[in-house]
Structure formats: structure tokens, C-alpha cells
Structure 1
Amino acid sequence: MRAVPAPKVWVAALTVGAIAAVTVLAVQADKGPRPTATTARPSASASASPKPSASAPAAVPDGSGTGRRIVYSLGQRRVWLVDESDAARRTFGVWPGTVAPDPGTYSVVSRRDATTGSDGVAIENIVYFATESGLNIAFSNAVDGSSPPPASGTQTGGIRMRKADGSAVWTFGSQGTTVVVVS
């Protein structure tokens, strides 16, 4: 006659199985695509995507001016840090807010180390360059590194990026730096 395992053994076995399944799913999710910063070299333009992508570096958009500047493409959801020789020193994808600046040329008007964004998220490396619909438009990154979409119905002017990219914009975008917004 065979011994029947006690109910505790079944519960333990099912729990171990469930934990193993969740672990496998977590590992698979962790291997998914992530936004990455890249150094730009001339290449084909990246396509627009709902979030930053790790695609090949995109060329600085035509019609974005000359000289040292920050270029922000609304359509590509991408920023370039361009030096005096018109070479892109860094490019990366961003998560735009719900209110976008009009295409045009602006200047960095102020900077702030840290504050709370209009969406309630703690942010840092804030570089302000425009006002649209009564909202300040600025580059920033979330202190915790997150980039959740803004709450439905919330108007936000923050153009969010990864922490390393936020630090790069902070270092590059001193007061008076030109910011060019293109479609």
C-alpha cells in the first residue's frame, strides 16, 4: 500500500512551483528591451516609438541650427547634445510630457537641482527652456529612475529621461544654452 503525502507536502510543492514560475517570468521580463544612451554618429533617423529605444544612433535632424545646442525632436522623442562643431556628442530617447513646446529656438532660462514634478514624481536635473499653455517645459529625470506615463488628464511639461541622460543634459545645458525643438 502506498502512503499518501500529507496536505502540507502538496501545499509546499505547489508553492515551490509557483515561485519557480514567477522567477522564470521575471528573468524573461528582465531580458526585454531597455532604453539606452548612445553616442551619435551619422546614420539613418530612428523611427518614433512610445518610449525610448535602443535603436541605432540617429543623425542630428536637418534644420536644427548650427553650433552648440540641445536638439529635441517631438516626432522622434529624442534629444541630441550637439557641440560647437555640429557633432552630436550624445543622443538618447525621452518620455515627453502631455504638453509639448512649439517647434522653434529657445534658450535654457533656469535650472533646478531637484523638486516635485507636476505629476507628483520627485525629479532632478531640471533644465527649463520654454512655457506652453501656462506650464514650464523642462528636461528632467525622476530621482528613482522611473518613467511612468503621466496620469490620465494630468498636464505635464516635463520631458523625462534616464538618470544618466538627465545628468548629461544638466552638465551640458547651462543657462543660456540654445535649445532647438523640431517636429
Structure 2
Amino acid sequence: MARSSSGFVAGLAAAAVATIAFLAYRAHADVPPGLGGRPGASATPATGAAKAPRDRRHPAALPGDSGTGERVVYSVDDDRVWLVGAGGRVENTFKVAPGTVDPAPGTYAVTSRSKAVTGTDGVPVEHVVRFADVKGVVIGFSAAVDSAEPQTVPDPTLQTGGIRESRPDGDTMWMFATIGQKVVVIR
């Protein structure tokens, strides 16, 4: 009898550990903005980073000095994102509309994601991919639920970190940028 009881207890313990791990993963993926851990904990901003070189004939080409390996590259100056696969090939690129607060150039990692929330500007957004925090303003990519295009001009009286994408681009970002994905911010 003791042998079967210990097997039953071991089975219950394994099930409990698996349930806790799943719930922890779900809780981490649905962290509300501003509660994703220490501000800037995942960032290694570059000090005095110069603007990465651009191909003037092909403005949508991936800039040089934008990192290596699989990554999201975000250009603050060009308002453009590149999704770069593990082999260094650009899988997608698209224009975005930034919020009023920009992240510093550097290398970050995706810290949290939410399927749907309300942005700091009051707009319902989906496919939120957060990667930085600037003085309490959470920075991340998202798509406005009621718009096929990125928002154009954010309210300058609000401090917003939402980098808005079109809904199709938001879907693409959501599939590419999972927790821990490298994000390289350049000028």
C-alpha cells in the first residue's frame, strides 16, 4: 500500500509543478504595462551611439551595424522596423508610428506581451510586445484595434511609449517577437 501511495503523491506533485509553471508563464505574458519588472532591466543602451549607416538607394534596406542573429531592429529616426531571421535575412520590414517617448539606442529583450489592452493614450490595442521602460513609460509595439494603419500623431500632452503598427504588421510582430526576443534600437 505504501508503494502505491507514494506513486500517487509523486504524480500529484508533478501535476502541481506543471500547473504552476503554466500559470507563471501565462501571468508573465499578460503583465499590464508598467508592471513588467525593474525599469530597463533588460536593456543595455549604447552610450553615444551613432546613426547606423543607411543605403540611400534602398531606404528600406536593413541598416549596417544593427546587430547580429535573430532580432527585431527598430530605427527611432526612420520610424521603421525590420524582423531579421536567425540567418541574418530580413523577413519583413514596415513603417511604424512612435509614441512621444523613445527608447535609447541599444540592445533589449522582449519582457512581456499582451493579446489586447488599452494603451496609455486610451486607445484599445492588440498584440502588445513590450521591451523597454523609460522613466516609468513602458515602450512596446502594438496595433490599434480600430485602425488598419499605424496612428500618425500621438497626443503630445501624454507620455506614451506605444510604437504603433498596422494590424497586419502587428500580427507579424506578435508571431516573431516572443518573450526574450532580442530588440535592437538604432537611431
Do Structure 1 and Structure 2 share a fold, with TM-score over 0.5? yes
Which residue identity is paired with 1:104?
Answer: G
**Equivalent position of 2:91 in the other structure:** 89
Q: Which letter does structure 1 place at the counterpart of 2:127?
A: N
TM-score normalized by structure 2?
0.67
Distance 2:66 2:169 in 1: 20
Runs of 4+ in 1 over 3 A off after TM superposition: 43-46
Larger radius of gyration between Structure 1 and Structure 2? 1
Identity of aligned residues (%): 48
Aligned to 1:173: 177
Tell me what 1:67 maps to.
69
Partner Cα distance (2:97, 2:56) in 1: 18
Asked if 2 retains the 8 angstrom alpha-carbon contact of 1:45 and 1:58, the reply is no
Does 1:161 pair with 2:165?
yes
CA deviation map 1:6-49 (0-9, x unaligned): xxxxxxxxxxxxxxxxxxxxxxxxxxxxxxxxxxxxx9358xxx
Q: How far is 1:90 from its partner?
A: 0.2
CA distance in 2, matches of 1:165, 1:45: 24
**Residue type matched to 1:111 in 2?**
R
Give the superposition deviation at 1:133. Answer: 1.9
Report what 1:13 is aligned to. Answer: none
Equivalent of 2:114 in 112, 119, 134: 112
The structure-2 alpha-carbon separation of the partners of 1:110 and 1:153, relative to structure 1 and needing over 3 Å to count, comes to same
Alignment partner of 1:70: what SS? Answer: strand
One-letter amino acid matched to 1:81: L
SS in 2 for 1:167: helix
- Is 1:182–2:186 an aligned residue pair? yes
**2:146 alignment partner, SS class:** coil
Q: CA deviation at 1:79?
A: 0.1
**Are residues 172 and 69 of structure 1, via their aligned partners in 2, closer, same or farther at CA, if it must alter by over 3 Å?**
same
What's 1:10 paired with?
none
d(CA) in 1 for partners of 2:181, 2:116 = 20
Deviation (angstroms), 1:152: 2.9
CA RMSD across the alignment: 1.6
CA shift at 1:149, angstroms?
1.8
Instruction: Report the Cα offset of residue 153 of structure 1.
Output: 1.0
**1:10-25 equivalent positions in 2, closer than 5 A:** none
Distance of 2:74 and 2:106 partners within structure 1 = 10
For the Cα contact (< 8 Å) 1:57–1:91, is it kept in 2? no
Corresponding residue SS for 1:170: helix
Using CA pairs below 8 Å that are at least 6 residues apart, which structure has the higher relative contact order? 2
Q: Give the conservation status (yes or no) of the 8 Å contact 2:55–2:63.
A: no
Out of 55, 73, 88, the residue aligned to residue 44 of structure 1 is 55
1:151 aligns to 2:162 (yes or no): no
* Whole-Å separation in 2 of the counterparts to 1:91 and 1:57: 11
